[in-house]
C-alpha cells in the first residue's frame, strides 16, 4: 500500500497543527459555532446526538496492521473501545471529546493517517473495490490512480468549499464493485484498443433524497487527464451548483437541471482550457506511485491444498464459512477472506478494540500485514494461502469475526441511525439486529442465498437503502419511528433503484415483513433465481400482496 | 488599525487601504444570491441588481474607487477618464457572472484592482472566480477578497490567485496572517504555484 514520503507526512503534520489552533480558537470563543462548523466538518468531526463523532479516512479502504492497532488503541483511550466501519470504507469513533480531537489526529499522523475531508462540502475519500489488486476479473488495479486523485483532491484550493459533498469512486473490474454509478464522479478504468489505460467517466450519481444513477459523460479519457478533467467537472459544479437549498445542492441536481448534453458541453469547454495544464499526470508520477501497489511476494503454489479439502469435508462450520467468506484470487493457492463484522444481534460494521488487534494479528501472520475495509462494512484479508484458511477461520471465530454470512440476508448494510446520528428519523441498528435474530438459522440463510438488505435511518441514505435488494428507510411520522420498505434495488453493472412496496411499518413489524418478502421469493423462485431476479421477473405486486394481505393497512398508513 | 493584508512578492503585510468601496443602494427586491448561476440567470433570467440601484449609486468625485460590476458596465462612459487615471477598480459578488465583466472590459489589466465579495465564508465560488481571473483572463493586478473573509480561508484564497484580503472588521488581521502559510508543500498545482508536487520535487528519491 501507499507509504508516505516527506511531503505527505509534512502535510498531515501541518494539518494537526492547523486543526489544534482552530479548536483552540473555537474553545476560546474566537470562532463562532457557524464559523467552526465547516472547519470541523472538513476534519470529519460531527456533533452528534450524544457526543461528537469523528470519521477517520481510510483511503480507498486500505489499512496496514500497524494502522489498525493504532485505531484500536485510540478507540480504547479516547472512546468506548470500539469503532464503526462505514459504507464509505472509513472508520468512525462515536464518543470522542471535542477537545481530544487534536491529540487523536496527532496520534493518527504517526501512522500516516488523518481525518481530512471525511465530511463537509468538499471532495471526500476516494473509494474503490475492496478486492483491488487481487480480483481475478480485474482489468486494471485502480489504486495507484486513486492515490494520485486523493493527493490532488487534498486541500485543493479551488474546491475547498463546494455547494455540497462530492464523492469519487474508481474501479477497474469487469463486474463493478465500487458502485461508480452511485457517485458524483465515477471512473471506470479499462484498457482501450491500443492497450492504453483509459477511463470511462460517469457523473451525477448519488443516493440521498433524490436517488439518481450516474450518466456517462465521457466514454474514453486518457489516464493522464484524470485530474484536469475532474477539475473541469468540479469547476462547473462549484460555480453553478445550487447553494440556496442543501437538498438541491448535489451535482446530480445540476446535471439534471441542465441535461447531460448541456452539462457536458460546459465541462468540455472548461476542459479545453485545462487539458495539458500542469496538473496533467506524468508517466513518472504514475511510475512512482504504482510500485506501492505492486503484487505481494507470493509463493508459487498449487491452487489446491489437500489439508483444506479434508477440513472442508469433515468440518461443517468451516465449510459453511469457506463457501461464503472466501473469495477467488488471481494468484493460484491464494484467496481473499472476508472477516464478518455482522454477527447476528450486534450493530453491523462495529469492531471492538480487541477485535481490531486480533485482525491486525491475522493480517500480520497470514496476509502480508495489510487489510481492507469493504463498503459492505466488513474487513478483508486479501492474500491468504489456501493452506492457512483453516487457521484463519479458527482464530477469526474465536474473536467473533467468522459469521459465515457474507452476501447473505444477515450481512446487512446499516447506517448508525437514531442511536447515534442527529439527522436520523429512526433507529436503524435495532432493526438490523432484530432481522438477524429472526433469520438466525444458517441452513435457511444459505437456502435463501445471495441477497442484500440495506438500512438507512433517514433520506440521507448512508445505508444505501435505494440499492438494496431489500431497502429499509427510517421515516418520521408525528414524532414516532416508521419504516418504509422497497425492493428491487441493486448495485453493480446492472444497478437499479428499488421501488417502495407501500405504506410503512413499525419497528416491531419489520422482521415479519422481511420474512414475508422472503416467503414469496422461496415460493416463486425458479432453480436459478436469486431474490433480485425473482423481483425483476415478477415485479413488486406478489410481494406487496403477501405483505399487506393480512394487514389492516389503513391503520398504519403513512403519507411519505 | 487597518485590517487589510497584502501579498507583495510572496510576503504578507498589513497595509493601509487606499481604496473606497462603493456599494449599491439597498433594494426591496430580494435576490437569490445563493442559487447557482445557471438556475438564477440562464434558466430563469432573473437579475439581482435593479436599474434604479445602478442609477442611484453615488460615485464620489475623487479618490480610488472600487465600483460594483453593474455600475462599471452601465456607467462606463462616465467613469472612463478615471479608469484611464488608474482610479477605478471593480468588485463583483460570487453569484455574478464573470463573463459579463470580460465582455464589457476587454482589457482587464486597465483595472488596477478587482475585488470579489463573499457574503458567507463558506461560499467557495470565490476560489473559482479567482482562478478564472488569473488563468483564463490573464488579470495581473491586485485581486482582493472582501466581505466575510476569515483567516481559515486565506490559504485557499492565496492559492486561487488572491493577493489582498480585507479581513472581516471584527477579526484581527495580524493574527490571520499566519494562516496564509498553513501548509508549506501543497499537492496540486494552483495559481500561486502552478506545478503539482510531483513535478516540483523529485519524489521518486
Ligand atoms: S442515513 Fe441518516 S440517520 Fe443514517 S447515518 Fe446517514 S444521516 Fe444519519
pLDDT of residue A394: 97
Contact: A5, B194; criterion CB under 8 Å: no
Distance from the Cα of residue A88 to its chain's centroid: 3
Fold match flag (A143-293 vs A413-559): yes
pLDDT at A261 over 70: yes
Q: If you count residue pairs, one on A and one on B, with CB atoms under 8 Å apart, how many are there?
A: 137
CATH 3.90.480.20 assigned to domain A6-109? The reply is yes
A481-539 pLDDT, tens digit each: 999 999 999 987 788 899 999 999 999 999 999 999 999 999 999 989 999 999 999 99
Candidate from A85, A424, A461 with most ligand 1 atoms within 8 A of CB, to mutate? A424
User: Which residues of chain A from 82 to 141 reach within 8 Å of chain B, CB to CB?
Assistant: 121
Nearest to A301 by CA among A329, A267, A322: A329
This prediction's pTM = 0.90
How far is A424 from chain B, CA to nearest CA, in Å? 25
Q: Is the CB of A416 under 6 A from ligand 1?
A: yes
Nearest to B154 by CA among B1, B5, B35: B5
With beta carbons under 8 A apart, name residues in chain A contacting B197: 7, 151
**Domain ranges across chain A:** 6-109, 143-293, 306-398, 413-559
Backbone angles phi, psi at A483, to 5 degrees: -130, 130
Distance CA A42, CA A27 (A): 18
Spatial strand order of the sheet with B142-147 comes to: B11-15, B4-8, B164-166, B142-147, B113-118, B88-93, B64-68, B19-21
Out of 3.30.413.10, 1.10.579.10, 3.40.800.10, 2.60.40.10, which CATH number does the structure's domain A143-293 have?
A: 3.30.413.10
- For A202-205, the CB contacts below 8 A with 24+ separation are A203/A233, A203/A251, A203/A255, A203/A260, A203/A263, A203/A267, A204/A251, A204/A252, A204/A254, A204/A255, A204/A256, A204/A260, A204/A263, A205/A180, A205/A181, A205/A252
With beta carbons under 8 A apart, name residues in chain A contacting B182: 14, 18
Confidence of residue A551 (pLDDT cuts 50, 70, 90): low
pLDDT at A547 over 90: yes
Q: Is the CB of A423 under 6 A from ligand 1?
A: yes
Distance CA B70, CA B55 (A): 10
Distance CA A410, CA A67 (A): 28
Give whole-number Cα distances, A300 to A381, A385, B130, in Å. 19, 11, 56
Contact: A285, B198; criterion CB under 8 Å: yes
Spatial strand order of the sheet with A370-373 comes to: A62-64, A370-373, A379-385, A334-339, A326-327
Q: Are A454 and A490 in contact (CB under 8 A)?
A: no
User: Which residues of chain A from 269 to 308 reach within 8 Å of chain B, CB to CB?
Assistant: 273, 277-279, 281-282, 284-285, 287-288
Beta bridge partner(s), residue A385: A334
Confidence of residue A558 (pLDDT cuts 50, 70, 90): very low
Backbone angles phi, psi at B91, to 5 degrees: -125, 150
Q: What is the mean pLDDT of chain A?
A: 93
A25-37 pLDDT, tens digit each: 999 999 998 899 9
pLDDT of residue B29: 60
What is the rounded average pLDDT of the residues A376-388? 96
CA of A49 to the centre of ligand 1 (A): 12
Nearest to A117 by CA among A65, A61, A58, A31: A58
Backbone angles phi, psi at A509, to 5 degrees: -80, -20
Distance from the Cα of residue B13 to its chain's centroid: 18
Confidence of residue B138 (pLDDT cuts 50, 70, 90): very high
Q: Are A287 and A231 in contact (CB under 8 A)?
A: no
Q: Are B97 and B37 in contact (CB under 8 A)?
A: yes
A175-195 pLDDT, tens digit each: 888 889 999 999 999 999 999
pLDDT at A387 over 70: yes
pLDDT at B43 over 50: no
CA of A486 to the centre of ligand 1 (A): 17
Beta bridge partner(s), residue A63: A371
Q: If you count them, how many residues does chain A have?
A: 560
Distance CA A185, CA A165 (A): 12
Residue-by-residue DSSP string for B110-178:
GSSEEEEEESSTT-THHHHHHHIIIIIS---SEEEEEES--GGGHHHHHHTT--EEE--TTS-HHHHGG
A260 touches chain B (CB under 8 A): no
Among A15, A243, A272, which would you mutate to test the B interface (most chain B Cβ atoms within 10 Å of its Cβ)?
A: A243
Distance CA A95, CA A104 (A): 12
Distance CA A395, CA A383 (A): 16
Q: Is the CB of A424 under 6 A from ligand 1?
A: yes
B80-137 pLDDT, tens digit each: 999 999 999 999 999 888 999 999 999 999 999 999 999 999 999 999 999 999 999 9
Q: Which residue has the higher pLDDT, A467 or A551?
A: A467
Within 10 angstroms of residue A537's Cβ, the number of other Cβ atoms is 11
Contact: B187, A154; criterion CB under 8 Å: yes
Query: Which of A105-119, A387-401, B92-106 bottoms out in mean pLDDT, i.e. has the lowest?
Result: B92-106
A22 touches chain B (CB under 8 A): yes
CA of B20 to the centre of ligand 1 (A): 48
Candidate from A211, A463, A475 with most ligand 1 atoms within 8 A of CB, to mutate? A463
CATH code assigned to A306-398 = 3.90.480.20
Quick one: A333 exposed, middle or buried, by C-beta within 10 A (0-12, 13-18, 19+)?
A: middle
Closest in A39, A152, A258 to B187, CB measured: A152
Distance CA B81, CA A437 (A): 82
Complex ipTM more than 0.85, yes or no? yes
Distance CA A431, CA A439 (A): 12
A179-235 pLDDT, tens digit each: 899 999 999 999 999 999 999 999 999 887 788 899 999 999 999 999 999 999 999
Neighbouring residues of A48: CB distance < 8 A, sequence distance ≥ 6: A94, A420, A421, A422
Q: Are A512 and A488 in contact (CB under 8 A)?
A: no
What is the rounded average pLDDT of the residues A420-443? 92
Q: Are A333 and A301 in contact (CB under 8 A)?
A: yes
Confidence of residue B44 (pLDDT cuts 50, 70, 90): very low
CA quadruple A206, A212, A213, A216: dihedral, nearest 10: -100
How far is B117 from chain A, CA to nearest CA, in Å? 14
CATH 3.20.20.140 assigned to domain A413-559? The reply is no
Confidence of residue A412 (pLDDT cuts 50, 70, 90): very high
pLDDT of residue A542: 95
Q: Which residue has the higher pLDDT, A7 or A553?
A: A7
A35-46 pLDDT, tens digit each: 999 999 999 998
Amino acid at each position: 500500500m501507499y507509504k508516505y514520503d516527506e511531503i505527505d507526512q509534512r502535510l498531515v503534520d501541518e494539518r494537526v497543527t492547523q486543526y489544534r489552533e482552530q479548536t483552540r480558537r473555537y474553545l476560546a470563543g474566537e470562532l463562532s459555532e457557524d464559523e467552526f462548523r465547516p472547519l470541523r466538518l472538513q476534519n470529519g468531526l460531527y456533533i452528534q446526538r450524544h457526543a461528537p463523532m469523528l470519521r477517520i479516512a481510510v483511503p480507498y479502504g486500505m489499512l496496514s496492521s500497524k494502522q489498525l492497532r493504532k485505531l484500536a488503541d485510540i478507540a480504547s483511550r479516547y472512546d468506548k473501545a470500539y469503532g464503526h466501519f462505514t459504507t464509505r470504507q472509513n472508520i468512525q469513533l462515536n464518543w470522542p471529546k471535542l477537545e481530544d480531537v487534536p491529540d487523536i489526529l496527532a496520534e493518527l499522523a504517526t501512522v500516516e493517517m488523518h481525518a481530512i475531508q471525511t465530511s463537509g462540502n468538499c471532495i471526500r475519500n476516494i473509494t474503490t473495490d475492496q478486492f483491488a489488486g487481487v480480483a481475478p476479473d480485474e482489468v486494471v488495479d485502480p489504486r495507484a490512480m486513486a492515490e494520485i486523485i486523493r493527493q490532488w483532491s487534498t486541500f485543493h484550493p479551488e474546491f475547498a468549499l463546494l455547494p455540497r459533498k462530492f464523492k469519487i469512486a474508481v474501479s477497474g473490474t469487469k463486474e463493478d464493485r465500487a458502485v461508480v454509478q452511485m457517485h458524483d464522479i465515477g471512473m471506470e478504468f479499462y484498457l482501450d484498443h491500443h492497450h492504453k489505460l483509459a477511463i470511462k467517466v460517469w457523473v451525477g450519481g448519488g443516493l440521498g433524497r433524490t436517488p439518481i444513477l450516474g450518466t456517462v459523460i465521457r466514454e474514453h479519457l486518457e489516464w493522464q487527464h484524470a485530474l484536469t478533467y475532474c477539475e473541469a467537472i468540479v469547476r462547473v459544479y462549484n460555480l453553478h451548483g445550487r447553494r440556496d437549498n442543501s437538498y438541491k445542492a448535489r451535482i446530480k441536481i445540476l446535471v439534471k437541471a441542465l441535461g447531460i448534453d448541456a452539462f457536458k458541453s460546459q465541462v468540455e469547454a472548461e476542459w479545453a482550457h485545462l487539458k495539458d495544464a500542469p496538473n496533467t499526470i506524468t508517466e513518472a508520477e504514475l511510475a512512482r506511485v504504482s510500485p506501492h501497489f505492486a503484487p505481494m511476494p507470493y509463493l508459487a503454489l498449487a491452487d489446491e491444498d489437500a489439508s483444506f479439502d479434508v477440513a472442508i469435508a469433515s468440518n461443517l462450520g468451516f465449510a459453511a464459512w469457506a463457501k461464503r467468506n472466501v473469495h477467488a484470487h488471481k494468484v493460484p493457492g491464494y484467496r481473499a477472506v472476508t472477516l464478518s463484522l455482522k454477527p447476528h444481534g450486534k450493530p453491523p460494521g462495529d469492531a471492538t478494540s480487541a477485535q481490531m488487534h486480533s485482525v491486525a494479528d491475522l493480517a500480520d501472520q497470514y496476509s502480508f500485514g495489510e487489510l481492507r475495509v469493504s463498503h459492505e462494512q466488513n474487513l478483508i484479508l486479501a492474500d491468504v494461502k489456501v493452506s492457512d484458511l483453516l487457521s484463519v477461520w479458527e482464530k477469526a471465530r474465536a474473536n467473533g469475526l467468522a459469521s459465515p454470512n457474507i452476501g447473505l440476508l444477515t450481512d446487512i448494510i446499516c447506517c448508525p441511525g437514531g442511536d447515534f446520528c442527529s439527522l436520523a428519523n429512526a433507529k436503524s441498528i435495532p432493526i438490523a439486529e432484530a432481522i438477524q435474530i429472526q433469520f438466525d438459522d444458517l441452513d435457511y440463510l444459505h437456502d435463501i442465498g445471495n441477497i442484500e438488505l440495506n438500512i438507512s435511518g433517514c433520506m440521507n441514505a448512508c445505508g444505501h437503502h435505494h440499492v438494496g435488494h431489500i431497502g429499509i428507510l427510517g421515516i418520521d411520522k408525528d414524532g414516532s419511528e416508521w419504516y418504509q420498505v422497497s425492493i428491487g434495488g441493486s448495485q453493480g453493472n446492472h444497478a437499479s433503484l428499488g421501488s417502495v412496496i407501500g405504506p410503512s411499518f413499525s419497528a416491531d413489524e419489520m422482521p415479519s415483513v422481511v420474512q414475508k418478502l422472503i416467503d414469496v421469493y422461496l415460493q416463486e423462485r425458479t432453480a436459478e433465481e436469486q431474490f433480485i431476479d425473482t423481483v425483476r421477473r415478477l415485479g413488486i405486486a406478489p410481494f406487496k400482496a403477501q405483505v399487506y394481505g393480512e394487514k389492516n393497512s389503513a391503520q398504519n398508513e403513512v403519507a411519505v | 488599525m487597518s485590517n487589510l493584508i497584502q501579498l507583495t512578492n510572496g510576503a504578507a503585510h498589513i497595509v493601509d487601504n487606499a481604496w473606497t468601496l462603493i456599494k449599491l443602494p439597498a433594494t426591496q427586491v430580494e435576490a437569490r444570491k445563493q442559487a447557482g448561476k445557471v438556475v438564477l440567470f440562464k434558466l430563469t433570467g432573473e437579475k439581482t441588481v435593479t436599474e434604479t440601484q445602478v442609477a442611484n449609486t453615488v460615485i464620489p468625485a475623487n479618490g480610488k474607487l472600487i465600483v460594483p460590476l453593474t455600475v462599471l458596465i452601465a456607467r462606463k462612459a462616465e467613469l472612463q477618464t478615471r479608469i484611464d487615471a488608474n482610479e477605478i477598480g471593480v468588485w463583483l459578488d460570487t453569484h455574478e457572472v464573470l463573463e459579463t465583466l470580460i465582455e464589457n472590459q476587454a482589457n482587464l489589466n486597465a483595472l488596477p484592482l478587482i475585488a470579489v465579495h463573499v457574503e458567507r465564508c463558506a461560499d467557495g465560488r470565490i476560489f473559482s472566480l479567482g482562478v478564472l481571473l488569473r488563468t483564463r483572463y490573464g488579470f495581473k493586478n491586485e485581486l482582493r477578497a472582501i466581505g466575510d473573509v476569515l483567516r481559515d480561508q486565506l490559504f485557499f484564497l492565496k492559492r486561487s490567485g488572491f493577493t489582498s484580503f480585507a479581513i472581516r472588521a471584527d477579526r484581527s488581521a495580524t493574527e490571520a496572517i499566519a494562516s496564509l502559510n498553513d501548509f508549506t508543500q501543497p499537492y496540486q498545482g494552483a495559481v500561486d504555484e502552478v506545478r503539482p508536487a510531483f513535478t516540483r520535487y523529485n519524489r521518486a528519491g
